[in-house]
Structure 1
Amino acid sequence: MDYKPLNPSKVYLITGAAGFIGYYLSKKLLEQGCKVIGIDNVNDYYDVNLKYTRLEKLASFDNFTFIKGDLADKSFVTEIFEEYKPHIVVNLAAQAGVRYSIENPDVYIQSNIVGFHHILEACRNYPVDHLVYASSSSVYGANKKVPFEETDFVDHPVSLYASTKKSNELMAHTYSHLYKIPATGLRFFTVYGPMGRPDMAYFGFADKHFAGEPIKIFNNGDFENDLYRDFTYIDDIVIGIERLLSNPTEGDVPHKVFNIGNNNPEKLMDFIHTLESCLSNATGAKIEFNKVFEPIKPGDVPATYASTDQLQKAVGFKPKTSISEGLQKFADWYVEYYRVGHDTIIEVSTKS
């Protein structure tokens, strides 16, 4: 596949560096000798100790600089670009979560809309080689046509979170059109793995179980018409991003959007049973969740399923980690990190 590799002489700015994907991407770049400037506001949407653990690991690299700050502060963003003059910007900072956007809409507008606007303005005033930014599979809403393709109609989001991500794509397209900023949006599909986000279902299931609480499954207990999710392991996601960094889209409007998923959706219940098995392996004890079935939540969609043809064509990206392999790595990390089996109480960190 003909694509340009990473250039260690470039300066990489990664927002959301204390986050799940931001941490793994920063680590990957640092290991290859790249200079990485990490930004994060380290908010308390989920356990900040996990965020600081990630940052401590990144701080062991001499070529890593961390700056705590909020993208909603325009002067802060401007000062970062003025001082460090990044060549490649990866905007992963965002208020995440579909259900949380129903409870706390204001923070989504500030972080996902206002913050992203400040990044775009900075890229306009301090030209960059490439802006890569996080979109989401949630932009597909309740589309029934599968697999989801980048050319599909995405004007009917079913959550505010999805609306902000669709807005990001529109904003980036406009700035690319007006100011020729090379920009690439990535529609992520349910990313999971060790050191992941505690607000994600798989992590929350483990938390709930070890806290002695039942897990809630929002599929009405309908196993015939179960929810499907295109779970994508973190290492696969990072490889896809890494390959894109030095390969911006060219043309009159240098903007493109890619799906970045596993192209292999799993039934939610199959995923849960695999997680039980992997936690059993990690603990040496039989793990079976106490399950409570409830109606699907507002903003949730029945299925996510990515077509990854475009990304594979562009940079040869094809995820390869199976659910059993990826969940076992998560389970092993979880049991070690939270010292499961060492009389340690697991604090449930998931927002309900």
Structure 2
Amino acid sequence: MMKRVHNFSAGPATLPLSVLEKVQSELFDYKGKGASIIEMSHRSPEYTEINRQAVERLKEITGADDDWEILFLQGGASSQFMMAAHNFLNTERTANYIDTGTWSAKAIKEAKLYGKVHTSFSGKEGAYSHIPTSDDLSFADDAVYTHFTSNNTVAGTQFQTEPKSNAPLVCDASSDFLSRPLDLDKYGLIYAGAQKNVGPAGVTVVMIRKSFLEKQRPEAIPTILNYQTHVEKLFNTPPVFAVYMVNYVLKWIQEKGGLSYFEKFSKEKSDLIYSEIDQDEFYRGTVEKEARSKMNVTFRLPSENLEKRFIAEAASQNLMNLKGHRSVGGVRASIYNACEMESVKALVDFMSDFKIKNG
């Protein structure tokens, strides 16, 4: 029988089994064409239809209207740190940046290469354990946009709702994209590496509002880095196989019930683990309760040696990829959309047993 472990990887993350099975069945012969989709031209009718379906499905899932463009680019969220700033900032322009973790700090570093950055909030001194309230934030009056990272995979924090801003929001939504509804009226640009909730590594989903795109800086922008280039046409070879898989994951999200379903499902899964953490002092959450992520649950044990034993023994029971990010240590369970409740229950049962034996 096929062996499937309980996969808590922070990314590339677990994918829906039904999608993997569908892809497997089509790998050698896509829809009777005698070739794999990997082998077909990105200009072919087959891929053109895949791209069209993926765009339409993403719009239906998010509720995006005709003012939104959907792009499938390469380079991950890290390339978008640069690309967003390069398209909208110059030495005369300012953007607000909310610093809540490792990736937002990297985005700030890139933005400073192109224009002025107003840091609306920084949680660095507090080890990024806090998500700011409206009272914690300050904004530049003339900001072109306000950038934030909706979920922080390293620290294990998450914005529970969009920050209030005097400028359109630009969001790195990589690790909680499509796990809950979005108030799209507040956004100008949303980008997300697919490898958490949307598909395999290799493609970055970019949603950009046409009216926001009109605010591009007036100076020349290198062709490949200009959002307008990719809006106008399929400029270069896209990550065909990754987009093909994203299309099937989007279909799976629709069939499950859309964003309202996954919002509820994510809460149920995370509540189960946090409930075990909060029972006593054996497990200790690493962030403020109000800031806890529903995607990446982070916690510590009484000692680092015990954490190493926890991770090793968990792996022996097929509970995989629980080691915290190398920069912070500890334990991290990533429970994205495709992580089943069965896996979460298996983890909680293991946590309970481990505590009894080692507490």
Q: TM-score range by the shorter chain?
A: under 0.3
**TM-score under structure 2 length normalisation:** 0.25
**TM-score under structure 1 length normalisation:** 0.26
Higher relative contact order (CA 8 A, sep 6+): 2
Larger Rg: 2
